[in-house]
Amino acid sequence: MIKIAVASGKGGTGKTLVATNIFYTLLRNKADALLIDCDAEAPNAVAFFNVSQGNETEVTRMVPVIDTNKCTFCGKCHDYCNYKAIFIIPPFKIIRVFEELCHGCGACSVACMDDAITEKPVSQGRVTSFNIDERQAIIESRINVGVMSPVPVIQAAIKLANQNHDIIILDSPPGTSCPFIQTVSTADYVILVTEPTPFGLSDLKQSVDTLKSIKKPYGVIINRAGLGNDSVQNYLKDNDIELLLEIPFSREIAEFYSTGGIVSEKIPALGDRLFQMITKIISLNGNSSN
Amino acid sequence: MEIAVISGKGGTGKSSISAAFATLNGRKVIADCDVDAANLYLLFNPTHEEEIIYIAGHKAHVNYELCTPCGICANYCRFDAISFNGARVTISEISCDGCFLCSRICPENAIRMLQNDKSRMYSGSFRNGKMVYGRLAPGEENSGKLVNMVREKAKQVAGENNLEIIILDGPPGIGCPVISTITGADKAVIVTEPTISGLHDLQRTIEIVRKFDIKAFVIINKCDLNSAMSDQIETWCSNTGIKVIGQLPFDTGVVEAMVQGKSIIEYDINSDVSRMIIEIWNKIINTN
């Protein structure tokens, strides 16, 4: 089994385009592949395939419920909470939990000396399994609107992935903060997708630094090549970073993609090149221990 | 007045449009709230008049000279960050949420919480006013708090310099840093694109804007890539009671401007896109 994450610092560089097309070519070539959409704030991969919905799991976080009859307003739970999720004014016997700030760490329950804190599950989002031709093919993570952190839902989606698949493709959330790290840290190899613009380069550098710091092997795809300038190409050359593929800028691709189409279906050459690329990555980085 | 420019989907042109707004007539404050992937400084090359260290939470570290190891910490950790194999406790920095619980319950006081102090906030001047931006160090969290700090600073700078308008260039998504960007802002401009992902993400973004009760406007960028989808988005918005205040065509000039370190307004004020952006800006400013 191998897990390959498709990521990018900058949003909208073509991460989902690459992830869905890699996945499509793998299925076409009869590989046993699973796609996990880890972009829980804005999941879109499912829209590109003909799927039927399978199991759905609610992802919850335990938040405190304070029994004000038992509470002595000692304030220890407030002191233990590092997320400022408990508000207390002891003289007025007021205590409140801000559920949206709570990370569910359980420190307040440990702190309470008066047995006044119980916990209840609060929904953060859901993880849904989708089938293609009766087989589990896509797992989607999706946070509820208003939930602060996508991390618990992303972790649940990755955990749910059936380890029996040969190849798992992770469509990663954008950026280089927590949600990105949580996704790529589980991968054996990371494909960074960028675009040849100053913004693309700046965000690429940040992603590369992050991946170096956690020692992940990676390579780069330049999407919309021909647009912008050649500073990304130069950066890759100067730093000895593998350029996996260049996808030329084309209005045709952009227009077809906008309709929710799989570009490799229309332009088979792209699918062939992605398949060659992924086969090479697997042969060099296969047999996961993650 | 704080005007937040956001988009559920990344890469729809949020920052290019923010940059265009920021370089229109009248000095302004521009605050880059996409602290995870700040980009506007590349165009505006601001001076660094102030640099502030931002503490992005904490990470637990074991002092192995004091650790017995009993493994109690591993039982209490809810983030699966501590593993205990019977002989040694190991903390995964990636999974540690910085809640302090392990350090509080350790009977040997063997766990210390170290600050994440690599993130920064900068404040300075750019060619059309003042600029504030944050840079979250890779892998760090609490980006919402850094966004709050950037906004506070932007308000302070606006007050000190008598600048009325603050433009907040927001992060993609709908999570914590986005909520921090729009909470209490006067207006939100949502930039979308006519793709299936653009429409899905717009719908989630509008939900979040509604939840926080903020006056929202929609711009459909690169509208000619799929005019049928653009029309569909426009219809969906009008049925939902959200105003589409402009459709911008795809123009490689926007990318060429970026390569030259300019906004489209500075690059070619007479282009169709520039003209439309000026119209859009006037609508945003003049609609209550």
- The partner residue sitting opposite A175, judged by closest CB among B37, B94, B101, is B37
B2-43 confidence digits (pLDDT tens)? 999 999 999 999 999 999 999 998 999 999 999 988 999 999
Tokens of A273: 């090149």
Kind and range of the H or E element at B218?
Answer: strand B215-220
* Helix-helix angle B272-286:B14-22, to 10 degrees: 80
Mean pLDDT of B234-260: 95
Closest Cα in chain B, distance from residue A124 (Å): 11
| pLDDT value of residue B140 | 81
CATH of A60-123, one of 3.40.50.880, 1.20.1250.20, 3.20.20.70, 3.30.70.20: 3.30.70.20
Q: Which of A8-17, A102-111, B60-69, B182-191 has the lowest mean pLDDT?
A: A8-17
CA distance B14 to A288: 38
Average the pLDDT over B64-72 and give the result: 96
Asked if A82's CB is within 8 angstroms of B99's CB, the reply is yes
| Identity of the residue in A150, A174, A198 whose CB atom sits nearest the CB atom of B258 | A198
The nearest alpha carbon in chain A to B211 belongs to A146
| DSSP, res A227 | B
| Tokens matching residue B157 | 């700078």
Q: Do B172 and A174 touch (CB under 8 A)?
A: yes
pLDDT surpassing 60 at residue B255? yes
CA A15 to chain centre: 11
Average pLDDT over residues A125-144: 96
Partners of residue B132 on adjacent β-strands: B31, B123
Say how many CA atoms lie within 13 Å of A119 toward its Cβ. Answer: 17
Best of A178, A209, A224 to disrupt the B interface (most B CBs within 10 Å) is: A178
Task: Identify the bridge partners of residue B84 per DSSP, sorted by sequence position.
Answer: B89
C-beta of residue A192 within 8 angstroms of C-beta of residue A13: no
> What mean pLDDT is predicted for residues B104-133?
96
Residue among B98, B140, B204 minimizing CB distance to A177: B140
Does the pLDDT value for residue B94 go beyond 90?
no
| Residue B150: per-residue pLDDT | 97
Alpha carbon distance B233, B245 (integer Å): 12
Q: Is the pLDDT of residue A112 over 60?
A: yes
The model's pLDDT over A172-187, given as tens digits with 9 standing for 90+, comes to 999 888 899 999 999 9
The DSSP-derived string for A52-90 is EEEEEEEEEEEEEEE-TTT-----HHHHH-TT--EEEEG
Beta strands B119-126 and B129-135, pairing class: antiparallel
**How many CB atoms are located within 10 Å of the residue B45 CB?**
12
Residues forming CATH 3.30.70.20 domain(s) in chain A: 60-123
Q: Tokens representing A134?
A: 């009766």
pLDDT band at B139 (very low <50, low <70, confident <90, very high): confident
Whole-number pLDDT of residue A288: 53
Which structure tokens are listed for A235?
């950066």
Per-residue pLDDT, B184? 94
Calculate mean pLDDT across residues A11-36.
96
Burial class (CB in 10 A: 0-12, 13-18, 19+), B239: exposed
Q: Mind listing the pLDDT tens digit for each residue in B147-172? A: 999 999 999 999 999 999 999 999 99
Confidence at residue A286, expressed as pLDDT on a 0 to 100 scale = 76
The closest alpha carbon to A198, from B10, B258, B264, belongs to B258
Check pLDDT > 80 for residue A234: yes
- Give residue for tokens 């859009």: B280
List of domains in chain B: 2-55+119-286 (3.40.50.300), 58-115 (3.30.70.20)
Q: What is the spatial distance between Cα A80 and Cα B272, in angstroms, rounded to a whole number?
A: 57
CA-nearest of A59, A35, A15, A3 to A186 is: A3
* pLDDT recorded at residue A163: 73
Task: State the smallest CA–CA distance between residue A236 and chain B in angstroms.
Answer: 18
What confidence category does residue A189 fall into, taking pLDDT thresholds of 50, 70 and 90?
A: very high
Is pLDDT at B142 greater than 80 in this prediction?
no
Q: Which of A59-73, B39-53, B115-129, B131-145 has the lowest mean pLDDT?
A: B131-145
B113: CB partners within 8 A, 6+ apart: B58, B59, B60, B61, B98, B100, B103
Please give the structure tokens belonging to residue B46: 């601001």
In three-state secondary structure terms, A245 is strand
Does residue A161 contact residue A27 with C-beta atoms inside 8 Å? no
Q: A2-32+166-285: which CATH number, 3.40.190.10, 3.10.20.30, 1.10.287.370, 3.40.50.300?
A: 3.40.50.300
Q: Whose structure tokens read 């949420």?
A: B97
User: Contact A10/B141, CB-based, under 8 Å?
Assistant: no
**Alpha carbons B238 and A166: distance in angstroms, whole number:** 46
Three-state DSSP class for A99? Answer: coil
Q: What is the mean pLDDT of residues B256-277?
A: 97
Query: Which residue of chain B comes nearest to A146, CA vs CA?
Result: B208
Q: Are B83 and B92 in contact (CB under 8 A)?
A: yes
Task: Compare all CA atoms of chain A with the CA of B207 and give the residue at the minimum distance.
Answer: A145
Residue tagged 């119209």 (tokens): B279
pLDDT band at A162 (very low <50, low <70, confident <90, very high): low
Q: Where in chain A is the domain with CATH 3.40.50.300?
A: 2-32+166-285
Name the minimum distance, in Å, from the CA of A85 to any CA of chain B. Answer: 12
Per-residue confidence (pLDDT) for residue A287, from 0 to 100: 62
pLDDT reading at A289 higher than 90: no
Q: Do A145 and B104 touch (CB under 8 A)?
A: no
Per DSSP bridges, beta strands A117-132 and A52-66 are antiparallel
Sequence-ordered list of residues with C-beta below 8 angstroms from that of B86, at least 6 positions apart, any chain: B71
What pLDDT score was predicted for residue B177? 92
Pull the structure tokens for residue A69: 């009859």
